[in-house]
Structure 1
């Protein structure tokens, strides 16, 4: 295990003080990362943040990589291609972690059969997530139950889902499966589900480790998520990535229930049903999203700068040596 090198990859978009706070914690790890890559998609930082980042670059503590067009999946792929570590740790830019966070991830790779590690998430928006001592019923039900395994499991176990805000993977595995699919767009919904599923389908063993936990602050400014507090009609790009995931990987018998649940939440919810004009608009956007999702899945296909780079290097993914 001691021979393995570690790269931490942090995509960031319009985050300021909270990004600096996250970087300070990364730099204080008792097992320091061999390199820290910040994939910066912010057009212009506040002066204090810019000075802090440039100071870290000048001291050789981080690598600051600019990316003009915001996309979390594209940023993570840039990190995969730029990194030199054997193990890649992905974290969000607004998290709190313990000093043994890197060590906890790395210790799992004593087992050479492990392809990736899902770290725990112990709070969201400052609200603690109570530890879960057993899998909920939904997580044990049907072929898509793995999507409902909570990130706050209190015990170490095999699982499939890797939360993009706290996970690690062998770099050779990330290259073999082609990195993250960039078709999920700016909001990046379900891109980590897709990445996890492809690792699983390739035969990779994924484990959940509660010791490698974070607290996700979900900073109110920045990031790529959509806030729905004052809007009940969904954007097309809220629905399309999730529908794309189902169209890409699962036939209708398996995906019908989650698609129905998605429609109930965003389209045919009580508020829209009681307001027919809003319902019609929401249904129209849902149909557009479905059409785009099917077109992307069946016609366009997966898009990934990692997969393209592997092909350009004249190396087939299956030729990359992994232990499984």
Structure 2
């Protein structure tokens, strides 16, 4: 039995029909997919805001012109099966496991992905890990993002690692290929929250949670930029959202890449390479943290996967074709 948590982010606007109703009645009407008892629990727990202010009073009367938002977490016990799925293990001891995740591997089971996930693989590799919340998974990578992840094999190790993550001590660096030629590195400091209409997407929103991404240029091409990025926070889809926000979305990003476009004058070979790259060009290249038992500062690197190496080489060749060896 594994403890699984999911984040709930809801937002809605009241109207004239809600005038004079209590807050608990209004949220029940706005969010009927959740029980009244659960919604009341969230109100009392400070998970509901009215016009940006936390409201813990279920009987608070509404005027019919409020913005109501819910940010909460649901935890439940879910039974998952152990599956013999090969893992690329970079480091392992009795406390932690460092994994180089391939593309197409989902981290947690969910709708449409009930098995064949990293969690199923962990249950087979470390049978006792079912006693650790979330099977020891401390942080996630999107399904098609490759690279390094840390997994805790014990509850004390998980507690220690989560504290490092929350205090921003743990260091995570990524490589990516972005659209457009960027002049220099910089910082994106923009809050991220659930998209207002696309429930599986995130977006830069004023009422979102703080999110900071640092980036620097590794190599500039005529129509793309190879980047190194460092997370200061760890919001869902953070790098993808932030890069799209500054008009440099990641190559191949199906959610935030925007309208498909090819560089002017691209060869058919290069155009085919770009069209065939059907995932966000993002790789978790370096992970550094304090070992939860020894307190030693450790760091691991994972080389770019072959598909990204080939993509960057093709992008470099496209640039050289125009006599632009150095930008």
TM-score with structure 2 setting the length? 0.27
Instruction: Specify which structure has the higher proportion of strand.
Output: 2
| TM-score, with length taken from structure 1 | 0.27
The one of the two structures with greater contact order (alpha-carbon pairs below 8 A, sep at least 6) is 1
The structure with more radius of gyration: 2
Q: Which has the higher helix share?
A: 1
